[in-house]
Homo-oligomer: A and B are copies of this chain.
Amino acid sequence: MRLHHVEILASDAVIEAGKEYRTIMDEIADAIARIVWPPGSKEFTILPIRKENGVKPIKERFVLRLEEFGWEAERRIDLGVTEKRPGPIDVVKRLADGRYFAVEWETGNISSSHRALNKMVIGLQRGVLMGGVLVLPIRRLYRYLTDRVGNYEELEPYFNVWRTVPVSGVLAVIAVDYDATSDDVPKIEKGTDGRALR
């Protein structure tokens, strides 16, 4: 899959200069690049039919790769946003100083992207997170995905909220796209195991 671009909403020069951060971003980029379709190919080629391809198998593939790098999936970390049991974060990496780097791969609608970024803001403000990244498809890819998933262009007009809110750490959105389209590939069924996308 193609990493379209990384949009840094909140930056932190000290963190960004460090080796730990560079490793994290390299691992995320690698996990995106290794999402392929159909199985066994070298690129992510999608069947270009509107709303036909499942999103969760793509996310699963991404998470599986990060787990190979030592990240933890579905970890429930108390970011300070609930009195009850905290909701799981898609994938986190525990850092040397005890803080976490969180990544959410959007599978819900655009409203849930707002909540995901607001949650990361609280985690950064409370010092639980060192960084947070939300991954979502650009509109060109989103058209072919099911589940009314949100897209990058829809969220972009709101970026100033997260650019201006004071946080300590890094907050970013990563936009992803397909490598190619083809009528000769199968659609990604919702129930596909993420392991198939490699």
Hey, which bits of chain A sit against chain B, CB under 8 A?
80-83, 108-112, 114-115, 118-119, 121-122, 125, 153, 157-158, 160-161, 164-166
Q: Which 6 A-B pairs have the closest CB atoms?
A: A111-B111, A114-B114, A165-B165, A81-B157, A114-B115, A111-B115
Cβ B165 vs Cβ A161 within 8 A: yes
A118 to B112, CA, bound (A): 12
Closest Cβ of chain B to A88, distance in Å, is 16
What chain B residues lie within 8 Å of A80 (beta carbons)? 157
What chain B residues lie within 8 Å of A125 (beta carbons)? 160, 164
What chain B residues lie within 8 Å of A164 (beta carbons)? 125, 165-166
What chain B residues lie within 8 Å of A121 (beta carbons)? 160-161
Cβ A158 vs Cβ B109 within 8 A: no
Cβ A122 vs Cβ B165 within 8 A: no
Do A118 and B81 form a contact, CB below 8 Å, given A108-B111, A109-B111, A111-B109?
A: no
Cβ B122 vs Cβ A160 within 8 A: yes
What chain B residues lie within 8 Å of A166 (beta carbons)? 164
A84 to B112, CA, bound (A): 21
Closest Cβ of chain B to A118, distance in Å, is 5
